[in-house]
Chain A
């Protein structure tokens, strides 16, 4: 058990290490460097030399990678080119804003997905299932920017209930942000709920048709007792990993949603830093997003190990 956990941690660490190498070499191999990318047409002669000198771009790549990753390990991500501020300072506010959005969406999305997943599985192919499943396919497949645009058009413009875009600055307090997050949260949790719901549904249907549930049925266990005691515990176990993967997958979708609503979170910072060709910030963001992805998956893996003793004796199933 202890060894298994250590092994998982080790794998997570290796993934993060590889991500940092990929990002670094990616930025390195692509033509130009941080300075030519940022300075663009002015990038010649003295200005370029000064910029390179400041960023230490004249030293060999391996040396720069080592110092970058060493500093990142201790939480120092370097300086941004455009703001000339420490990247930590820029990112921490954005992380907070995005967390508010994500946590609210998760708190709404997960219980909703589990309840709807159970409902659709138990009433399989009946009216509630067909209705909810169809809606889920729509909200899952339609790109985030389209559902967000439709939400703004209907709720903000035609019905005039809520503000369509966020106009607060990134440093505003939580209370100032709160009324603005309603629409983005709806947009994000819609996609998330749809994904999880479908997988919870198919898990439960699978368990319902398993031998031991058939056995319980034949034994004459009352329906609801059977559902709550025999079906749900096993049917919901895989949901932990599904939730983790959905959250991780949403990291991409949140970027688009934040841009549509003009929400000052990590996602908009991604677009801003890329438009500004601010490669140090881009590097830092990629590292942070990868860290979230690996972290969420790791927690899910460990959680499954804790609640499902059967997995503990198996080898690492990768």
Chain B
């Protein structure tokens, strides 16, 4: 049975999707992101060479028919490594974003709802965390706990959720004074029920857009860590790591940095364009948001 409610939900969803894809930025952005995700999933099946096979006879070959993006300083195929270089990054940042949205959204809505002392204390702590530069916090965690994905996902998820707390809290404040919240309170619903049934549907849009944005920042953080040598360990192909390895030799072998640069930049730009189009489709202005 399809009831009226579900039909209107589906209608809204299709409107949003049409609105996103009718903008050139949304069209391009989403196409890039989807392409990257598809490549990340199927790349192990389609790459022409082994990503970790070292061959000293073919070091730093320029692009040719045999190796279309050339080879790197250890004789590995740059094309293969570029195709596979986004897998760990996408995996870690995707699940990191889910964690960030989940805890940030919940804490933000909760603080917005209860207000008072609890709200004050939590917001002061969030402020303090915002004052610690992301790179310092991430480096410290990674150095002491290691760089495995089991560490990076919760670490990134925790650290990037603090900004979502503020957004969710502000969005909650916007609706908290409305009548339907009062009505739910008067009916004697629990805080949890109010959050789940009344607040979440109203706050979801803002939190989702913010989450999409956090995804791109998380990707930036992750690849910066790899670049600095604190991310995934060799020989795993990763764009940040490839750029840092090829950087010293780029005066005569620029191809080993160009390919990962284009791949990583296009993914991050794609996510940003998508997030912008998504925000506009939902009617949220996020250019006012500060980059925290």
Question: A: which residues have CB within 8 A of B?
Answer: 11, 14-16, 18-19, 21-23, 26-27, 30-32, 37, 137-138, 140-146, 149-150, 152-153, 157, 195, 198-199, 201-203, 241-242, 245-246, 248-249, 251-252, 255-256, 259-260, 270-271, 274-275, 277, 282, 285-286, 289-290, 293-294, 318
Instruction: For the A-B complex with A22-B125, A143-B227 known, give 17 more contacts whose Cβ atoms are closer than 8 Å.
Output: A11-B124, A14-B124, A37-B144, A141-B272, A144-B224, A145-B224, A146-B264, A149-B243, A150-B261, A195-B291, A198-B287, A246-B290, A255-B135, A256-B224, A274-B230, A285-B136, A290-B132
Residues facing A in B219-262 (CB within 8 A) are 220, 223-224, 227-228, 230, 240, 243-244, 247, 250-251, 254, 257, 261
CA A175 to CA B244, docked complex, whole Å? 30
CA A157 to CA B273, docked complex, whole Å? 31
Interface: B128 (CB within 8 A): yes
CA A167 to CA B216, docked complex, whole Å? 33
> In the complex where A18-B124, A153-B257, A242-B290 touch, is A143 in contact with B224 (Cβ < 8 A)?
yes
Interface: B140 (CB within 8 A): yes
Q: Which residues of B contact A245 (CB under 8 A)?
A: 290-292
Complex contact A30–B132 (CB within 8 A): no
Q: Which residues of A contact B55 (CB under 8 A)?
A: none
**How large, as a class, is the contact surface on chain B?**
35 or more
Complex contact A270–B227 (CB within 8 A): no
Chain A to chain B contacts (Cβ below 8 Å), 30 pairs: A11-B127, A15-B124, A18-B128, A19-B128, A137-B272, A141-B268, A141-B269, A142-B268, A143-B220, A143-B223, A145-B244, A199-B290, A201-B287, A202-B285, A202-B288, A203-B288, A242-B290, A245-B291, A245-B292, A246-B291, A255-B135, A256-B135, A256-B228, A259-B228, A274-B230, A282-B136, A285-B136, A286-B133, A286-B136, A294-B131
**Residue of chain A at shortest CB distance from B289:** A199
Shortest distance in angstroms between B228's beta carbon and chain A's nearest beta carbon? 6
Q: Which residues of A contact B223 (CB under 8 A)?
A: 143, 145
Q: Which residues of A contact B254 (CB under 8 A)?
A: 153, 157
Complex contact B127–A18 (CB within 8 A): yes
Q: Which residues of B contact A22 (CB under 8 A)?
A: 125, 128-129, 132
CA A19 to CA B130, docked complex, whole Å? 9
CA A132 to CA B223, docked complex, whole Å? 26
| The one of A144, A145, A270 that contacts B139, using a Cβ cutoff of 8 Å | A270
CA A304 to CA B261, docked complex, whole Å? 40
Shortest distance in angstroms between A156's beta carbon and chain B's nearest beta carbon? 9
> In the complex where A22-B132, A141-B216, A143-B223 touch, is A274 in contact with B140 (Cβ < 8 A)?
yes
Going nearest first, the 3 A-B pairs with the smallest beta carbon separation are: A18-B128, A245-B290, A202-B287
Residue among B228, B257, B272 with most chain A CB within 10 A: B228
Complex contact B144–A149 (CB within 8 A): no
Residues facing A in B123-174 (CB within 8 A) are 123-125, 127-136, 139-141, 143-145
| The one of B145, B216, B257 that contacts A149, using a Cβ cutoff of 8 Å | B257
Interface: B265 (CB within 8 A): yes
Shortest distance in angstroms between B282's beta carbon and chain A's nearest beta carbon? 17
**Residue of chain A at shortest CB distance from B230:** A274
| The one of B128, B131, B250, B269 that contacts A137, using a Cβ cutoff of 8 Å | B269
Complex contact A249–B243 (CB within 8 A): no
Shortest distance in angstroms between A113's beta carbon and chain B's nearest beta carbon? 13
Complex contact B291–A146 (CB within 8 A): no
Complex contact A143–B132 (CB within 8 A): no
Complex contact A19–B240 (CB within 8 A): no
> In the complex where A149-B243, A202-B287, A242-B290 touch, is A256 in contact with B227 (Cβ < 8 A)?
yes
| The one of B131, B134, B290 that contacts A19, using a Cβ cutoff of 8 Å | B131
Q: Which residues of A contact B292 (CB under 8 A)?
A: 245, 248-249
**Residue of chain A at shortest CB distance from B244:** A145
CA A142 to CA B220, docked complex, whole Å? 8
Q: Which residues of A contact B220 (CB under 8 A)?
A: 143
Complex contact B224–A277 (CB within 8 A): no
Complex contact A143–B268 (CB within 8 A): yes
CA A21 to CA B268, docked complex, whole Å? 34
**Residue of chain B at shortest CB distance from A277:** B143
CA A202 to CA B261, docked complex, whole Å? 30
CA A23 to CA B140, docked complex, whole Å? 10
CA A177 to CA B145, docked complex, whole Å? 37
Complex contact B140–A145 (CB within 8 A): no
Q: Which residues of A contact B128 (CB under 8 A)?
A: 15, 18-19, 21-22, 290
Shortest distance in angstroms between B85's beta carbon and chain A's nearest beta carbon? 13
Q: Which residues of A contact B127 (CB under 8 A)?
A: 11, 15, 18
**Residue of chain B at shortest CB distance from A286:** B136
Complex contact A199–B140 (CB within 8 A): no
CA A51 to CA B30, docked complex, whole Å? 55
Q: Which residues of B contact A252 (CB under 8 A)?
A: 133-136
Residue among A23, A137, A203, A256 with most chain B CB within 10 A: A256
Complex contact A142–B228 (CB within 8 A): no
Q: Which residues of B contact A246 (CB under 8 A)?
A: 290-291
Complex contact B250–A32 (CB within 8 A): no
Shortest distance in angstroms between B123's beta carbon and chain A's nearest beta carbon? 7
Complex contact B268–A26 (CB within 8 A): no
| The one of B124, B130, B139, B250 that contacts A274, using a Cβ cutoff of 8 Å | B139
> In the complex where A252-B133, A270-B135, A289-B132 touch, is A157 in contact with B261 (Cβ < 8 A)?
no
| The one of A26, A137, A144 that contacts B140, using a Cβ cutoff of 8 Å | A26
Q: Which residues of B contact A31 (CB under 8 A)?
A: 144
Q: Which residues of A contact B250 (CB under 8 A)?
A: 149, 152-153, 157
> In the complex where A19-B132, A137-B272, A149-B261 touch, is A271 in contact with B144 (Cβ < 8 A)?
no
